[in-house]
Amino acid sequence: MRQAYPTTPDGRYFVVRGRLWRASNPALPDAERQALVNNLMEARRAVAKARRARSASALAGARAEVDAAKTSLGERGRPWWNDGAPDFNRHLARNTPYAEWFAALCAET
């Protein structure tokens, strides 16, 4: 069963081990999102295959495919929101404006 990670109240990030990770763009149509997720999973499998083959060139290409898929999903690159709010991707939640929310979340568990 897949573990659900807490999502910030604005839906921009989910939290894993106290770190914020940018969520996919919720404005993507479901079919487009699913196609991009399928591309991402295929690229991740290509990364694993390249590692097993110890092929630096294949690994670089596969990693570029992962990056392209994650960028298309909105998880990398420019933030998908347009209100001018800064991007806190990969920051510790406790060091961001989400600190109070995260502390309250931790206190509940």
41 and 6 part of one domain: no
Q: Is the pLDDT of residue 106 over 90?
A: no
CB 22 within 8 A of CB 98: no
Residue 3 resides in a domain: yes
* Per-residue pLDDT tens digits for 59-80: 999 999 999 999 999 999 999 9
Domain encompassing residue 62: 28-74
Q: Residue 20 pairs with which residues in a beta bridge?
A: 15
Confidence at residue 32, expressed as pLDDT on a 0 to 100 scale: 97
Residue 79 resides in a domain: no
Query: Rounded distance, CA 10 to CA 38, Å?
Result: 26
DSSP code string of 33-83: HHHHHHHHHHHHHHHHHHHHHT-HHHHHHHHHHHHHHHHHHTSSSS-S--S
* Per-residue pLDDT tens digits for 7-48: 999 999 999 999 999 999 999 999 999 999 999 999 999 999
Question: What's the pTM value of the predicted model, to 2 decimals?
Answer: 0.87
44 and 14 part of one domain: no
